[in-house]
Amino acid sequence: MSDLRESVMTRTLPLPLPSADNIEFYRATRRGELRFQRCSECGSWRHYPRPACGECHSLDFAWELSSGCGHIYTWTIVRGPTLPAFQDELPYNVIDVVMDEGVHFQSQLLDCPPEEIRAEQRVEAVFEPANEDITLVKFRRIQGVSTDGRARTGRESPHE
Ligand SMILES: [Zn+2]
């Protein structure tokens, strides 16, 4: 059993494989842009990338720019076992963010100890190049939110 495990174990960092559906998503993240598909017929946003709208089944869509902001819907803390590439990161979080556009996005919250993660926490996307082709999207907490609800950068917090 453990021989089989060793034979299929991924040792290097597993990265997304660009496909016909998601290549535009990763082209955008390389430019530091978070873009989601938006249906040209009914206006629904969607993520993960796919050919048809889940609401009206239209195949027409555009890659529209996201605000990059959202809030934590739920999360988990991974304490292991995990892949060798992630072993040194333990414990680490996996968060589910509801973007302001309404789509869910699974990622990781940076610079936040497990005990400080909260539901509804406002977060903003940050871009982490992994190699020439793939730039990953992760998140940071937004420390200050102005009265009009618009996010300011976390660096304005007096606690930092
Ligand atoms: Zn639609």
DSSP string spanning 140-151? Answer: EE---B-TTSPB
Tally of structural domains, the chain:
2
Beta bridge partners of 78: 92
CA pair distance 76, 94, nearest whole angstrom: 5
49 with 73, same domain? no
154 with 88, same domain? yes
- Let me know how long the chain is: 160
Instruction: Determine phi and psi for 34, rounding to 5 degrees.
Output: -100, 115
| Residue 38 CA, ligand 1 centroid: distance in Å | 8
The answer on pLDDT for 152 being more than 80 is: no
108 with 149, same domain? yes
| Residue 20 CA, ligand 1 centroid: distance in Å | 20
71 with 137, same domain? yes
Which pLDDT value is given to residue 147? 41
- Whole domain around residue 38: which residue ranges? 18-65
Mean pLDDT of the chain: 89
CATH code where residue 141 lies = 2.40.50.840
With respect to residue 7, please indicate whether it lies within any of the assigned structural domains.
no
| Residue 48 CA, ligand 1 centroid: distance in Å | 15
% of the chain residues with pLDDT over 70: 88
The answer on pLDDT for 75 being more than 90 is: yes
61 with 71, same domain? no
| Residue 146 CA, ligand 1 centroid: distance in Å | 33
| Residue 95 CA, ligand 1 centroid: distance in Å | 27
